[in-house]
Chains A and B, each alone.
Chain A
């Protein structure tokens, strides 16, 4: 299909919600590609519904029973005559069976993401680990497949504890996580092997409830580290992957969910590190590209890394999809001196079959980008999600600021309880780290965000947490 169609002949089903749905719609609009959006009853007031009504064409918006129901997506795609599907992030974005179904069904469509075989190979944390080890890419010690048996799980945990003691680690830790999980959900630490079974059972039960799969992974918990990412982009040929630099996502909630992302991953120009930071960045980029070439990676993807205090990188996983934080990499990037880089538009363009059209030499970076995730939550109480209504939400427009949000700014908005209470992404650019930080704090100071819960309690948000952590951005 892609060979016969110009991209403007395509129509994309936006199989997601909220701000990412809006960014996909805007990217399609910019490329001249038609789209169809979907929403559930709980999301009727979301900005993505309004945007679809404003800029969408014929059959551009459908109400569905669930974003998780593949049959709904296929039925809507058929009725709206969509030729491609963009999964966004979450939901079906890393489900190879879904991607395969999209591309193999009777009325075939293009899945705007890597091919299903690549998702199957890299989307599975275990396969990724095996592939990485075969290419001598360093990975975190632990199980190399999901564990379903309690005795086996305990045996692996014991081995990982012993391994750490042999390494001279005084307080060894084991991480127990839901194999089918992601985004920091369903993860707990074990400090003592005697507590392992109770934690294992809790995670297994949680995994069963949330993901319908009770498989659990057991890994060494590395405590003193930075979380880095490499942004990879490659067209359908899969032959010449390029990177759009690195990101540092070390500022996270206690549940290991990202709250601030910074590009580039380290800044040796502005800060000193106890290791050769530029070499670490070069190494993780090189490792990521090696793996991307090996599998013939053919869309956008992110290689996630742990970097320890001594500068040792370990591959955590590959996210075979667009990331929430893609915009912060785009913000500091230039392609042939064009500063208006849009990785979502790039993903759609190459996903629909266009060649990338440039090489690594054409890509440069400039300055520092910070992305804040504005979330209704209580950082003082284990980042517990807050639910209620947003009454006021506005900020001061700046040339160095982009805000992506699905929260309407001209009406009261009730946060749906079915999803994370993410409100907005704010991307700030500065010529150097200091300027980016100053601008970040200035944005947060000027931000107006108010609301109240059903019981009249005022909104809780992470603004103070973001402000307090801006100072330590990129510090190790």
Chain B
């Protein structure tokens, strides 16, 4: 089993990550009054229904798109020289220095403890209709996967081929794949928890919950 304490110590040594906020599409940028150095918040609420701090708007075809902070932290950089400019998709607009949350640490931990079934190549991945129905109805942990099971439809270059699961039998503990988004080769699609490791993983998650102190 993975050494949870060692991982926590490793993250505690460097608990920040930089989040670069880029233009999701083209448009004309207008920054708000938020200034570099100020604190920003990410989405909040039970369902993350309250949006993060508004950093800028990106106006395209008369539709102003709010550019929001994705996580809380310190606004490290704001590319104010782009004010009023038409920018290309992917242009960096801001950088937020973010202290990792308990959930993020937990996800890091799970990635190192679960059996990760990874994407064999860059493609879009969808659960097969039967699995998808079950995941939607009862959650991913209701699905037990086993070697050779037809689990995903791999869609790339407009072709679709079935992808069979390879790995230990277990429940789908975490779903990493996002429908309609391309996943790079080697990136995890799902994290599988074999039945004999379930207790250990739940204990590890509990350890993170109690030991990781979130930023105030």
A positions within 8 Å CB-CB of B: 40-41, 62-66, 69, 71-72, 74-76, 79, 185, 205-206, 209-210, 384-385, 387, 417-421, 454
**CB-based nearest A residue for B155:** A209
Across the interface, which residues of B come within 8 angstroms of A419, CB to CB? 157-158
Across the interface, which residues of B come within 8 angstroms of A74, CB to CB? 61
| Residue with the greatest number of chain A CB neighbours at <10 A, chosen from B26, B61, B129 | B26
Is there contact, CB below 8 Å, between B182 and A65? no
Q: Using known A-B contacts A64-B25, A65-B26, determine if residue A421 contacts B121 with beta carbons closer than 8 Å.
A: no
**CB-based nearest B residue for A183:** B158
**CB-based nearest B residue for A73:** B26
Q: Which of B88, B122, B129, B185 contacts A62 (CB 8 A)?
A: B88
Q: Is B156 an interface residue (CB 8 A)?
A: yes
Within 8 A of A (CB), among B140-156: 155-156
Q: Is B123 an interface residue (CB 8 A)?
A: yes
Q: Is B210 an interface residue (CB 8 A)?
A: no
Is there contact, CB below 8 Å, between B122 and A75? no
Across the interface, which residues of B come within 8 angstroms of A62, CB to CB? 26, 88
Is there contact, CB below 8 Å, between B25 and A417? no
For B, the interface residue count at a CB cutoff of 8 angstroms equals 25
Between A and B, 30 residue pairs with Cβ closer than 8 Å are A62-B26, A63-B88, A63-B89, A64-B26, A64-B88, A64-B89, A65-B89, A65-B90, A71-B61, A71-B63, A72-B60, A76-B26, A79-B26, A79-B86, A185-B158, A205-B129, A209-B126, A209-B160, A210-B155, A210-B158, A384-B161, A385-B159, A387-B122, A387-B157, A417-B123, A417-B156, A417-B157, A418-B157, A419-B157, A421-B157
Across the interface, which residues of A come within 8 angstroms of B129, CB to CB? 205
**What is the minimal beta-carbon distance from B8 to any residue of chain A, in angstroms?**
33
B positions within 8 Å CB-CB of A: 24-27, 60-61, 63, 86, 88-90, 121-123, 126, 129, 155-161, 182, 185
Is there contact, CB below 8 Å, between A417 and B26? no
A420 to B159, CA, bound (A): 9
Is there contact, CB below 8 Å, between B121 and A454? yes
**What is the minimal beta-carbon distance from B178 to any residue of chain A, in angstroms?**
14
**CB-based nearest B residue for A415:** B157
Q: Using known A-B contacts A65-B26, A417-B122, A417-B182, determine if residue A72 contacts B157 with beta carbons closer than 8 Å.
A: no
Is there contact, CB below 8 Å, between A65 and B25? yes
Is there contact, CB below 8 Å, between B26 and A72? yes
Is there contact, CB below 8 Å, between A387 and B156? yes
Is there contact, CB below 8 Å, between B24 and A71? no
A239 to B89, CA, bound (A): 43
Across the interface, which residues of B come within 8 angstroms of A420, CB to CB? 157-158
**What is the minimal beta-carbon distance from A467 to any residue of chain B, in angstroms?**
23
Across the interface, which residues of A come within 8 angstroms of B63, CB to CB? 71
Is there contact, CB below 8 Å, between B25 and A71? yes
Across the interface, which residues of B come within 8 angstroms of A65, CB to CB? 24-26, 89-90
Q: Which of B24, B26, B156, B182 contacts A385 (CB 8 A)?
A: B156
Across the interface, which residues of A come within 8 angstroms of B61, CB to CB? 71, 74-75
Across the interface, which residues of B come within 8 angstroms of A209, CB to CB? 126, 155, 160
**What is the minimal beta-carbon distance from B126 to any residue of chain A, in angstroms?**
7
**What is the minimal beta-carbon distance from B56 to any residue of chain A, in angstroms?**
16
Across the interface, which residues of A come within 8 angstroms of B27, CB to CB? 75
A384 to B156, CA, bound (A): 10
Is there contact, CB below 8 Å, between B90 and A75? no
Q: Which of A71, A385, A454 contacts B157 (CB 8 A)?
A: A385
**What is the minimal beta-carbon distance from A121 to any residue of chain B, in angstroms?**
27
A64 to B27, CA, bound (A): 10
**What is the minimal beta-carbon distance from B25 to any residue of chain A, in angstroms?**
4
A205 to B88, CA, bound (A): 35
Q: Using known A-B contacts A63-B88, A385-B156, A387-B156, determine if residue A454 contacts B185 with beta carbons closer than 8 Å.
A: yes
A431 to B78, CA, bound (A): 64
The 8 closest A-B pairs by CB, nearest first: A385-B157, A65-B89, A63-B88, A65-B25, A417-B122, A79-B86, A75-B60, A417-B156
**CB-based nearest B residue for A80:** B86
**CB-based nearest B residue for A383:** B159
A419 to B182, CA, bound (A): 12
Q: Using known A-B contacts A71-B25, A385-B159, A387-B156, determine if residue A418 contacts B182 with beta carbons closer than 8 Å.
A: yes
Across the interface, which residues of B come within 8 angstroms of A71, CB to CB? 25, 60-61, 63
Across the interface, which residues of A come within 8 angstroms of B160, CB to CB? 206, 209
A418 to B123, CA, bound (A): 7
Across the interface, which residues of B come within 8 angstroms of A417, CB to CB? 121-123, 156-157, 182
**CB-based nearest A residue for B129:** A205
Across the interface, which residues of B come within 8 angstroms of A69, CB to CB? 25
